[in-house]
Structure 1
Amino acid sequence: MNLADVPREKLSPMMQQYAATKEKYSDCIVFFRLGDFYEMFFEDAILVSRELELTLTGKECGLEERAPMCGVPYHSVELYLKRLVDKGYKIAICEQMTDPALSKGLVERDVIRIVTPGTLIESSMLEDDSNNYICTLYYGNDGSCALCFADLSTGEMSLTVPQEASDLSVRIMDVLSRYMPAELVMNSQALSLKSVMDFIKVRLQCAVSLRDDICFDPVQNRELVCQQFGVPSLDLLGMTEDGADVSAVCGMLDYIRETQKRNIARFVSIEVADSASAMGLDLNARRNLELTETIRNKERKGSLLWLLDDARTAMGKRLLKTWLEQPLVQPVKIMARLDAVDAFVKKSLVLMEVRDLLNNVYDLERLMTRVIYQKATPRDLKSLSMTAQQLPELKAQLRQLAGDSRLLATLEQQISPLERVCTLVENAIVDDPPITLKDGGVIRDGFHEELDRQRHIMNGGTQIIDEILQREKERTGIKGLKIGYNRVFGYYLEVTRSYYDLIPSDYIRKQTLANSERFITEELKNVENEILGAKDRVLRLEEGIFSEVRDCLAAMLKKVQETAAAVAQVDVLASFANVAIENDYTKPEIAVDGSIQITGGRHPVVERMLTEEMFVPNDTYLDTKAQRMLMITGPNMAGKSTYMRQVALITLMAQIGSFVPAEYAKISVVDKIFTRIGASDDLTAGQSTFMVEMKEVSDILNYATKNSLVILDEVGRGTSTLDGVSIARAVAEYISSRKIGCKTLFATHYHELLDLEQEIDGVKNYSVAVKKHGDTIRFLRKIVPGGVDDSYGIAVAKLAGLPDQVVKRAKELLAEMEAQTAVSAPKQTAQTGQISFAAMQQERAIATLQKTHLAELSDAECRELLADLTSMLS
């Protein structure tokens, strides 16, 4: 049964209420509160019962046929919400706004929140060590673009305006892949960015919502932005009055207000990201360097994040990931972090004390979010207090390092001891509070006078009744006076026949028995009402007091947020220090001469993962003059890729402020790291391995600068040998020339490229040392000067376990082809056994002429052919 096909006038009043709500929130699953359950009806019920494997029942709805229905208990609703959100659904929570026991007629209901993948704040629905970002993407008719990212659970908000307009889609995808938002909100014009839309569908796979242009309109929402961040004008935030940047922020605030149905005070600041403030790392670099997950299994273990993350707090873990994906490019800031890590390393006892204190620090950012949105539990408040209790000693420990690190001194000043938080919570909340407020027992005795009185009434009802009885005996002289209770009359005074003459006039007769009379008094009735209603009043009082305490804590948001940010930085820096001590890392020098010098460098992750052998360290020297490009040859599996990745990782680690795996390192800041390592068919986009490879190379050639670091592995291998060598050589010439002239590691099997060392200043040949014994080889994992003298392909195949018969046949075929090559290519060099690049170009020219019929060509086509042949042979 579909709700849209049902006549509304025939539905029951409650079901009409549901239908009106569902019509208003047609793109959501409506969780409709009925007593202790959230119920779903009609198509929502069918959908949820299927997705969550719940029993589908029915409910009378005013029609002949019962409405499909399924439900979930309200006290465990988060479990079910999480499963639906993970599947990409949006849920509208329709709550009872009036007490059913006090309502006359239909209970009032309204949607109090829309739960979406990007607006989660519940700890049970979030990963502690990862941000949960929502992104607004605004693309204007004039080609301008901006992206705003927010994490409701932590109060972070940032704005990015892609600068390189020559290929805007690439920049947008790079930014999206950096944040990996759980939800994307955009205007309709953004749909014209086809490659971005494909990327969102294939790579991000996040929830997407289209919003009307009015939601992004700065004219409508400009004042809201200024009010939100407490500034009189947008230029103080680094934003324009009516550009794409403010439109993206307006869209974000509008969406949060729409989904949360309340004040959005959680966001107190916004970071306007400067494209030049962080190292450029595109999607390929992050993936190939395995910064946060491995390429093969998409697992955290085996990534650089896994290695470096020894943070003690959830806030620190999230910040470490942010630092890892956005390395610094300002030498002063890098050195400040390195000095802070060095201070911890040199005073390891202080480091141990700090890390012990951080063990007892809870997630201040997400705790305060739950406070702001009135979702905090009594135990959440206690966690805030317990954290605040650690801060004075944490500050004291940091003061011991202040003379060694200006950054740590600054962070110590930014950390507030939060005395008011601690005092308020400790005075108000019991030591071991229950999880929820519903059963009471949350507020400490002595904190609220009226609450104490009601508790006394609730817990001391018998004593109060006994005191009334004693007073009445003394007042009336009725020594045999008794007080009883039944469900009909409540509390009553019972007087036997012998005392009838002493009954006072204010006694109200309620019942006559054979030998006695039962009475009530105004005082007894009032006490009865107090005793019987005391528990309800205690629960209501506790709820109100708890809300007041929570609101007081919410008013301290800015101070707590600043403290949380500083504590997170201390945690990351302490984590770097501990990892450096455990793994024997060294403090890198930060240079400005453009050189990278590494002595005894090691791949941080591979070294950690090795269990049965020692990692072989290697030296590296790169600059922007005499040694710009290292042309690296050697067989597969010998360690070329590992070596190149380790150089990139050591550089990146230095720029996030971490010590590095080397005996010595001097690192000049690089503005971008590009990688072209391996490729696989992008079947979803209909692109082959070679096409993917060429697109990646194209990005490098278009966006690399003199200050970039480029890693190239086997460029040109996805096509024929002649084409591959030609492309590889042309790429190497272009990068190594003054056109770019950046630091480059270029691994190749094309030995023809070794000639570049003699032809282009700045290109140097290196190879992986191999020890050969007859038909067997052993990789020494050492990078040495000079090109390799053999490709060792068949030897590597044998090492990989190919059957002997296959290896033997391969040798025979190789001998035959070498003999043929010797005849057709007399310029084969005696040293390497390879065809020279010039000889290959001659072969290509001859092949072109053999396939050409000159009589069929026009004069213009002949001139074009002659130009092509001249180019080949020049």
Structure 2
Amino acid sequence: MKVTPARRQYLQIKSQYPDAILLYQVGDFYETFDEDARIAARELQIVLTARNYGEERVPLAGIPMHALENYVGKLIQRGYKVAICDQVGEVGHGVVDRAVTRILTAGTLSEPNLLPARQNNYLVAIASSRQQTGLAVVDVSTGEFSVTWFAPAELPAALEAELQRLAPSECLVAEGTSRDAYRFPSQTVTITPCPPHFFDVEAARARLCRHFGVQSLDAYGCAGAPQAIAAAGAIIAYLEKMNTALLSLLTGLHSYQTTSYMVLDAHTQRNLDILQGSRSGTTQGSLLGVLDRTLTPMGARYLRRMLTQPLLDLTLLNARLESVEELYESPALRSRIAACLQGLGDLERCAGRVRQGTATLREVQGLRNYLEVIPRLRELLQGCQSPLLQEIASELDDCPQVRDLIARALVSEGQTDDGAEHGRLIRAGFHPELDALIASIRDSRLWMARLEPQERERTGIKSLKVGYNKVFGYYIEVSKANRHLVPPDYERRQTLTNAERYITPELKEHEARILNAEERIEELERSIYADVLRQLGLSYGQIMTTASAVARIDALLSLAEVAAHYGYVRPVLEQGHVLDIVGGRHPVVERSLDGDVFIPNDTHLDGDEGERILLLTGPNMAGKSTYLRQVALITLLAQIGSFVPARSARIGLVDRIFTRVGAEDDIASGKSTFMLEMEETAAILHHATRHSLIVLDEIGRGTSTYDGLAIARAVVEHLHSVIGARTLFATHYHELAAMANELPHLRVYTMAISESEEGEIVFLHRVTPGCIGRSYGVHVARLAGMPPSIIRRAQEVLKALEVGQHAPGQVAGVALVTGALPISAAAKAEPSLSGANGHRSDSESEGQTGAVAERRTTAAASTQGQGLALTYAWQSEEGRRLASLLEQQEADDALLDQIDICAITPLDALNLLFLMQRQRHRQRKAL
């Protein structure tokens, strides 16, 4: 098939980028062809048409140049890679030269309109070996470039936590790596396989040294981390392929260790709703949503980093707290600083656009306006007492050379001088050749303006007009009625219905002068503007230092504003293991109460000599989970240098916060709620230290009662006696309360309730010492809107269980036996509520005491006649001994006096009480 030259050029370029949507410039449009056109039409909702190229009819869809960013953003959001092919040659005869100038992917965007202003857009690369895993991180819009690495023992938890913190939009991996090899916080992250040579350690080392112009990477702190080097080198190689202009923004490489900050694993970040509310999927309902009162985009991004990288250095923390306190105590100072920050835009990304040479005139003038605010901000901070605020002031550079160059070289937005009149970029007086060309145009246009009255007077044609159009240029128009008055030096150019258009040699000469000058001006201005951007880019490092300082003061001001507005206090931080909070409040929940009062609670833990484990019991919906999260969030806030929602707080530094709260299945991985619970708990027990804070909610609820209780007890004992970490442990196993008699550093608390004579309960949401032996589940079911018939039946069942009611002929067993209760008519009519042979279904019995009791009943029936000591799987010798005594004597006070409470387990005690109750019941019937 015969192919046209234009079609051949397209196919040749497209063959080099088969995995990208190729946007191909044709005049004022970007066109897509073939399958790209079908994809673009479907994803962008634009018209799909077709055009003949020789003998071939080709599908076609196009977008206007001015709307490029909007459409590109939509394609990238849908996971596509986009290659921009621009016209790079002169438009004339033949096919215009074209070349791909940049490739846009989710992680390589630097256009502000395509990026979320208040969070970073990270591209990451992961390189792995048996000895080490390296992670490199870059935000090309701000120039942030960092690496870290992990030992095998830290995986996968540490890598997963860092990916959760970063929330990258794109990840580079070696070809052949499965998407499931790493766990990302979002399924929308783009996984980009790269050639193996991208990750070759020595090639990556050479690539990095070449980029930074150094002989070794010793100064960057990663010379001894080969996989970190491989990951960073892969990013450089990828950017070289995608858009080389972005490399100019990477002026340094920062190495860090995640253990230098408080460790927040992925589960904790999600469970505490630090950056994102679990219900909203946005910052609403999150800790960030409460704290973020920042006034600049870079301040918002810095606050996010503060929240996910709490400090462990007491000196740095006290410096932050001191600065927040000074701002907190001076509303006037906060107001003046806020006025300055409101005049600042995104210095980081604006500077990056300048450095790349892609900034618009508006962006450059914006940069100048931002820098003009800096002297006033610096003056305010220099007057502060806090060393940190004074340090920030010293880093604020208003870059006078940048401001001066912009003022001298570029036209101001809205300017009405000759530059603005002609749509110019360069200010008059900056470039002599440009000034001469503009003067030439001005002279020729003045001559044009005088031409019309002169020619009317010379020819006597009163209706004569001088005009211009894009096709014929300048002309003199005469009506046909006055053709006889046209002088001989007029040369006919165009004939209209009622008029003729002419030119003269002088008119043609001035027209050529104007057109040539305008073409030269356009070319010269582009060159001058690019050179101005290049000169401004030389101050990129200074501008970025200033931007970083602005981000820090913005974040600190936000913390001070929140503290003043919501009544937070400065915490006292120390190196010990104390956790003493008076009147603590949940920072997020209290903001969602819509006028209701949040009930504050105290927390007193001491990992050294006092209470190490707070065991929290109480009814469902009483506020246990809120209290647990509250303590963790207050600790987190203290270690970012924030004031905290409490009357007072004294906190020993925490190296890690672990949380195991909530319940969710991982269906995609084939893992049940209980399996996930056990995996998370195991990770905590492996990685927690004495300096950690551990928050556990309802461990063991996903399995049978005995198994769950056994696991919960074993976990508590390990935390108490082996790890020794400060721990808050909420449980529905009230039997665990007896551990307070065995474990000296464990104390039992409960969520207080108020119960009326009619049985109505009110949750007081107050943590008090002691234990409540009921869960009040039926009351919660009523509050949840369960049908009244279900509530009534549940109350019948509960009452029967509590008083030990049994069906006639019941076999031996504990009180909570499925067959021991009369079945309601409704239940009999609905066999689907029970499993085969009258047993409960797995889903119904899982985690319920009845399931265990059912198994024990079966076991008891099969061992009748063997004696009570053998009928039950007694957990303690004391239980077995008392069962033997019960066979020999009546269940009286004398037997009760022989019970050694410290030697019997709660479950054995429960079984023994049942047997004694049954024996007395039979004795009463015999009488």
Q: What TM-score does the superposition give when structure 2 sets the normalisation length?
A: 0.81
* 1:306 Cα deviation after fit: 0.6
Letter in 2 for 1:797: A
SS at match of 1:604: coil
1:177-196 equivalent positions in 2, closer than 5 A: 177-188=164-175, 190-191=177-178, 196=181
Question: In the aligned structure 2, how far is the partner of 1:433 from the partner of 1:221?
Answer: 48
Which residue number corresponds to residue 143 of structure 2?
Answer: 155
* 1:574 Cα deviation after fit: 0.7
SS at match of 2:639: helix
Which residue number corresponds to residue 791 of structure 1?
Answer: 775
Choose the corresponding residue for 2:581, options 598, 604, 622: 598
Any unmatched runs of 5+ in structure 1?
Answer: 1-6, 470-477, 493-508, 513-517, 829-838, 854-864
* 1:540 Cα deviation after fit: 2.4
SS at match of 2:430: coil
Pair 1:123 & 2:112 matched: yes
Which residue number corresponds to residue 486 of structure 2?
Answer: none
Aligned length: 801
1:827-866 equivalent positions in 2, closer than 5 A: none
Question: Once the two structures are aligned, what percentage of the paired residues are identical?
Answer: 37
Question: In the aligned structure 1, how far is the partner of 2:51 from the partner of 2:539?
Answer: 47
Dislocated runs of 4+, deviation >6 Å: 436-439, 465-469, 483-492, 509-512, 839-849, 865-874
Q: Point out the more displaced range, 72-81 or 424-433.
A: 424-433
Question: In the aligned structure 2, how far is the partner of 1:261 from the partner of 1:211?
Answer: 17
Choose the corresponding residue for 1:42, options 26, 34, 37: 34
CA separation of 1:676/1:754 partners in 2, compared to 1, >3 Å: closer, same or farther?
A: same
Which residue number corresponds to residue 894 of structure 2?
Answer: none
Which residue number corresponds to residue 30 of structure 1?
Answer: 22
Contact 1:310–1:575 (CA under 8 A) maintained in structure 2: yes
* 1:76 Cα deviation after fit: 0.8
CA separation of 1:430/1:769 partners in 2, compared to 1, >3 Å: closer, same or farther?
A: same
Q: Deviations over 1:717-753 (max 9, x none)?
A: 111111111111111111122x211111111110111
Letter in 1 for 2:3: L
SS at match of 1:121: coil
* 1:278 Cα deviation after fit: 1.1
Which residue number corresponds to residue 294 of structure 1?
Answer: 277
Question: In the aligned structure 2, how far is the partner of 1:751 from the partner of 1:656?
Answer: 36
Pair 1:567 & 2:550 matched: yes
Q: Deviations over 1:587-627 (max 9, x none)?
A: 11111111111111111111111124211111111121321
Contact 1:457–1:464 (CA under 8 A) maintained in structure 2: no
CA separation of 1:230/1:639 partners in 2, compared to 1, >3 Å: closer, same or farther?
A: farther
SS at match of 1:580: helix
Question: In the aligned structure 1, how far is the partner of 2:473 from the partner of 2:59?
Answer: 46
Q: What TM-score does the superposition give when structure 1 sets the normalisation length?
A: 0.86
SS at match of 1:60: strand
Q: Point out the more displaced range, 799-808 or 303-312.
A: 799-808
CA separation of 1:139/1:439 partners in 2, compared to 1, >3 Å: closer, same or farther?
A: farther
CA separation of 1:136/1:685 partners in 2, compared to 1, >3 Å: closer, same or farther?
A: same
Question: In the aligned structure 1, how far is the partner of 2:877 from the partner of 2:33?
Answer: 77
CA separation of 1:841/1:869 partners in 2, compared to 1, >3 Å: closer, same or farther?
A: farther
Question: In the aligned structure 1, how far is the partner of 2:219 from the partner of 2:698?
Answer: 49
Letter in 1 for 2:7: M
CA separation of 1:848/1:267 partners in 2, compared to 1, >3 Å: closer, same or farther?
A: farther
Which residue number corresponds to residue 84 of structure 1?
Answer: 75
Contact 2:38–2:59 (CA under 8 A) maintained in structure 1: yes
* 1:188 Cα deviation after fit: 3.3
Which residue number corresponds to residue 570 of structure 2?
Answer: 587
CA separation of 1:455/1:851 partners in 2, compared to 1, >3 Å: closer, same or farther?
A: farther
Which residue number corresponds to residue 431 of structure 2?
Answer: 448
Contact 2:278–2:285 (CA under 8 A) maintained in structure 1: no
Question: In the aligned structure 2, how far is the partner of 1:871 from the partner of 1:557?
Answer: 77
* 1:44 Cα deviation after fit: 0.8
Question: In the aligned structure 2, how far is the partner of 1:850 from the partner of 1:867?
Answer: 12
SS at match of 1:184: strand
Question: In the aligned structure 1, how far is the partner of 2:330 from the partner of 2:242?
Answer: 48
Letter in 1 for 2:654: V
Question: In the aligned structure 2, how far is the partner of 1:639 from the partner of 1:733?
Answer: 25
Choose the corresponding residue for 1:406, options 387, 392, 402: 387
Which residue number corresponds to residue 15 of structure 1?
Answer: 7
Question: In the aligned structure 2, how far is the partner of 1:204 from the partner of 1:221?
Answer: 29
Which residue number corresponds to residue 411 of structure 2?
Answer: 430
Any unmatched runs of 5+ in structure 2?
Answer: 453-457, 477-488, 493-502, 807-811, 818-848, 864-871, 881-904, 906-927
1:102-501 equivalent positions in 2, closer than 5 A: 104-140=93-129, 142-163=130-151, 165-166=152-153, 168-188=155-175, 190-191=177-178, 196-197=181-182, 199-200=183-184, 203-240=186-223, 243-262=226-245, 264-401=247-384, 404-432=385-413, 440-463=423-446
Contact 1:632–1:745 (CA under 8 A) maintained in structure 2: yes
Question: In the aligned structure 2, how far is the partner of 1:810 from the partner of 1:866?
Answer: 29
Question: In the aligned structure 2, how far is the partner of 1:868 from the partner of 1:771?
Answer: 36
Letter in 2 for 1:701: L
Pair 1:653 & 2:637 matched: yes
Pair 1:623 & 2:610 matched: no
Q: Deviations over 1:548-594 (max 9, x none)?
A: 21111111111111111111001000111111111111111111111
CA separation of 1:671/1:525 partners in 2, compared to 1, >3 Å: closer, same or farther?
A: same
* 1:38 Cα deviation after fit: 0.8
CA separation of 1:241/1:601 partners in 2, compared to 1, >3 Å: closer, same or farther?
A: closer
Q: Deviations over 1:357-381 (max 9, x none)?
A: 0001110111122112222100000
SS at match of 1:409: helix
SS at match of 2:156: helix
Pair 1:54 & 2:46 matched: yes
CA separation of 1:392/1:866 partners in 2, compared to 1, >3 Å: closer, same or farther?
A: same
Letter in 1 for 2:62: G
Letter in 2 for 1:732: V
Question: In the aligned structure 2, how far is the partner of 1:559 from the partner of 1:652?
Answer: 33
Q: Point out the more displaced range, 25-34 or 454-463.
A: 454-463
Question: In the aligned structure 2, how far is the partner of 1:845 from the partner of 1:806?
Answer: 26
Letter in 2 for 1:257: E
Choose the corresponding residue for 2:731, options 738, 742, 748: 748
* 1:547 Cα deviation after fit: 1.3
Question: In the aligned structure 1, how far is the partner of 2:467 from the partner of 2:126?
Answer: 68
CA separation of 1:868/1:97 partners in 2, compared to 1, >3 Å: closer, same or farther?
A: farther
SS at match of 1:637: coil
* 1:15 Cα deviation after fit: 1.0
Choose the corresponding residue for 2:651, options 642, 653, 667: 667
Which residue number corresponds to residue 97 of structure 1?
Answer: 88
Question: In the aligned structure 2, how far is the partner of 1:188 from the partner of 1:866?
Answer: 56
* 1:124 Cα deviation after fit: 1.0
CA separation of 1:519/1:415 partners in 2, compared to 1, >3 Å: closer, same or farther?
A: closer
Question: In the aligned structure 2, how far is the partner of 1:685 from the partner of 1:345?
Answer: 48
Pair 1:781 & 2:744 matched: no
* 1:297 Cα deviation after fit: 2.6
Contact 2:167–2:186 (CA under 8 A) maintained in structure 1: no
Question: In the aligned structure 2, how far is the partner of 1:363 from the partner of 1:642?
Answer: 37
Q: Deviations over 1:379-411 (max 9, x none)?
A: 00011000000000000000111xx21111111
Question: In the aligned structure 1, how far is the partner of 2:104 from the partner of 2:25?
Answer: 15
Indicate the RMSD between aligned Cα atoms, in angstroms. Answer: 3.5
Contact 1:344–1:350 (CA under 8 A) maintained in structure 2: yes
* 1:263 Cα deviation after fit: 6.2
Question: In the aligned structure 1, how far is the partner of 2:33 from the partner of 2:879?
Answer: 73
Question: In the aligned structure 2, how far is the partner of 1:44 from the partner of 1:438?
Answer: 41
Question: In the aligned structure 1, how far is the partner of 2:205 from the partner of 2:243?
Answer: 20
Letter in 2 for 1:77: L
Question: In the aligned structure 2, how far is the partner of 1:721 from the partner of 1:489?
Answer: 92
* 1:541 Cα deviation after fit: 2.6
* 1:169 Cα deviation after fit: 2.3
SS at match of 2:325: helix
Choose the corresponding residue for 1:688, options 656, 672, 680: 672
